[in-house]
Amino acid sequence: MTTPKFAQIKQFIVDNIRSGAWLENQRVASENELAEQFSVSRMTARRALSELTEAGILTRSQGLGTFVASFKSQSSLLEIKNIADEVKARNGNYSCTVLVLESISAVAPIAIALGVEVDSVVYRSVLVHNENEQPLQVEERFVNPALATSYLQQDFTALTPHEYLSSVAPLTEARHTVEAIMPNSEMCQWLNLYHEEPCLQVIRRTWSSSGIVSFARLVSPGSKYRLGGHLTFKK
């Protein structure tokens, strides 16, 4: 099985950039030039350039040409993965225990974060995600009851809250912040921490088309959990 022509051209371009032969903002061959060099049609050469542009490796300007993108503008990205998948990926034994599953009256900060009236009823759950029976992450979640009416009836040891919520209210947007915090005594108990240690806290708010679905706080001990990211030219 041969590699497609457009993929060969992409590889040729990426190799030249990776090796340093083509520098930032340098002009690369036009569609017609590439088409002739590789004996392909313009549309095939175009596909290679377009896909590398979409990937952020090249920039194009109508009338001017195609250029090597400047690395400076590339922001580095970190992934937040599903913690159950992460544990399973490293052959850990994943389990989950439900600590709290209740409906409460929303105090002001919670109500604002969920976009509901103060003192209205919202659902709250607290789960502990375990790796090999040791607490790895505490998930405290506040849910807009209008968008997930039967939230309290779910079995979250089988399906995570995030998975359940995406099935009942299609997610359209999510926002995250990550910070370093010191856990309070309640959190220390949940995480089974004997001595205080800094924790990574991820705040995630998710939207669907009908409004804010939920507001989650994910807290993990700094000694056991970290976020990883990877940025490369390879494609």
Partner DNA sequence: ATATTTACCTTGTATATACAAGATGGCTTG
Partner DNA sequence: CAAGCCATCTTGTATATACAAGGTAAATAT
Give me the residues that bind DNA (CB under 7 A), please: 1, 4-7, 30-33, 39-44, 46, 49-50, 53, 60-66
Among residues 1, 2, 3, 23, the one that binds a copy of itself under rule CB under 8 A: 23
> Do 106 and 120 meet the contact criterion of CB atoms below 8 Å apart?
yes
Site for a copy of itself in 35-94 (CB under 8 A): 51, 54, 70-72, 75-82
How many residues bind a copy of itself (CB under 8 A)? The answer is: 57
DSSP per-residue letters across 165-207: HHHHS-EEEEEEEEEEE---HHHHHHHT-SS---EEEEEEEEE
Choice between 108 and 226, CB closer to a copy of itself: 226
Residue with tokens 């930032």: 24
158 binds, among a copy of itself, DNA, none (CB under 5 to 8 A by kind): none
Interatomic CA distance for residues 75 and 71, integer angstroms: 9
**What backbone torsions phi and psi does residue 47 show, to the nearest 5 degrees?**
-60, -45
Choice between 33 and 163, CB closer to a copy of itself: 163
CA 138 to chain centre: 18
CA distances from 111 to 120, 146, 177, 204 (A): 8, 13, 19, 15
92 binds, among a copy of itself, DNA, none (CB under 5 to 8 A by kind): none
Choice between 9 and 200, CB closer to DNA: 9
Among residues 104, 112, 118, 181, the one that binds a copy of itself under rule CB under 8 A: 181
Site for a copy of itself in 140-179 (CB under 8 A): 162-163, 166-167, 169-179
Interatomic CA distance for residues 51 and 10, integer angstroms: 8
